[in-house]
Amino acid sequence: MGAALDPRIKIEMLQAAYKKLDPSTSSLKIKELKDSLSALYKDYQKRSQTSSSGVSLTPTPQEIVTESPLEDDYDN
């Protein structure tokens, strides 16, 4: 249950679901999703930097996706 709710694993779960539903367009859909999430994150990051005078300690999207405490559970 935790893996289904973990935002760091949802892309992998969507990718598997897209491959089952429509393998011919699954990679395109995942690329569009990642591009949209990246653009959204960059917008939030820009707003955060302009609203604060200090350095932002917000992790990058790559750090968020690769730091999964449930990764071992997902493989099992």
| Model pLDDT for residues 38-71, shown as the tens digit of each residue | 898 899 888 887 766 555 566 667 666 665 555 5
**Model confidence, pTM:** 0.54
Q: Is residue 3, in this structure, part of any structural domain at all?
A: yes
Q: Is residue 5, in this structure, part of any structural domain at all?
A: yes
Q: Is residue 67, in this structure, part of any structural domain at all?
A: no
Q: Is residue 72, in this structure, part of any structural domain at all?
A: no
Range 4-9 average pLDDT: 72
Q: Is residue 62, in this structure, part of any structural domain at all?
A: no
How many domains is the chain built from?
Answer: 1
Q: What is the DSSP letter of 60?
A: P
Give the range of the structural domain holding residue 41, as residue numbers without chain letter.
Answer: 1-46
Query: Residue 8 is which amino acid?
Result: R
Q: Is residue 66, in this structure, part of any structural domain at all?
A: no
- Which of these, 36, 6, 4, lies nearest to 17 by C-alpha position? 4
From residue 65, alpha-carbon distances to 20, 50, 69 in Å are 22, 25, 11
Q: Is residue 54, in this structure, part of any structural domain at all?
A: no
Q: Is residue 18, in this structure, part of any structural domain at all?
A: yes
CA 42 to chain CA centroid, Å, is 13
